[in-house]
Structure 1
Amino acid sequence: MAKFMDVHHGMSGITAEQLKEAHAADLRIEGEEGVSFEHAWADPDSGTVYCLSEAPSKEAVQRVHTRSGHPADEIHPVPLSV
């Protein structure tokens, strides 16, 4: 499976609890799309949230995020890592 980094904008002021809740919402349904969300990060000042996942496609990642109420603004494949 491929890795993807997705980005959400417009989440200024997000708290650690809100990030945890949004991530948990994704985890509850990720298996239905064959996605595995690995980690999420947030910058409350800029309102940017990042999520790292393994998935069959970026469309599968977007379907999970959309269904859980926070569609991604950008989804980038991450083909190389060290």
Structure 2
Amino acid sequence: MAKFMDVHRGMMGITGEQLEQAHSADIAIQDEEGVTFEHAWADPEEGVLYCLSEAPDAEAVQRIHERAGHPADEIHSVPLTI
């Protein structure tokens, strides 16, 4: 499985509760695509949200996000970590 970092823009003013709700919506259906969402971060002032996941491919990550109601604007493969 590969790791992916996705970016959601236009989330100005997102709260901690909203971030938790979005992350929980992904987790509730992630198994259907073989995705594991590991962590999410948000910057309410910039309106940007980031998610780290492990998945078979970027398309599986996007399908989960779309079904949960918040498609990603960008999905990046993260092949190297330290």
With the length of structure 1 as denominator, give the TM-score of the two structures: 1.00
The Cα of 1:22 is off from its aligned counterpart by 0.2
Structure 1 counterpart of 2:22, which letter? A
- C-alpha distance in 2, partners of 1:29/1:46? 28
Structure 1 residue ranges (4+ consecutive) displaced by more than 3 angstroms after TM superposition: none
C-alpha separation between the residues in 1 aligned to 2:10 and 2:26? 18
Q: 1:48: which partner in 2?
A: 48
- 1:3, distance to aligned residue in structure 2 (A): 0.0
**Equivalent pairs: percent with the same residue?**
72
**In 2, Cα distance between the equivalents of 1:39 and 1:25?**
13
- Which residue does 1:29 correspond to in 2? 29
How many residues align? The count is 82
1:22-47 per-residue CA deviation (whole Å, 9 max, x = no partner) reads 00000000000000000000000000
Q: Which amino acid aligns with 1:13?
A: G
Residues 1-82 of structure 1 mapped to structure 2, 5 A cutoff: 1-82=1-82
Cα separation, 2, equivalents of 1:33 and 1:46: 30
Structure 1 unaligned blocks of 5 or more: none
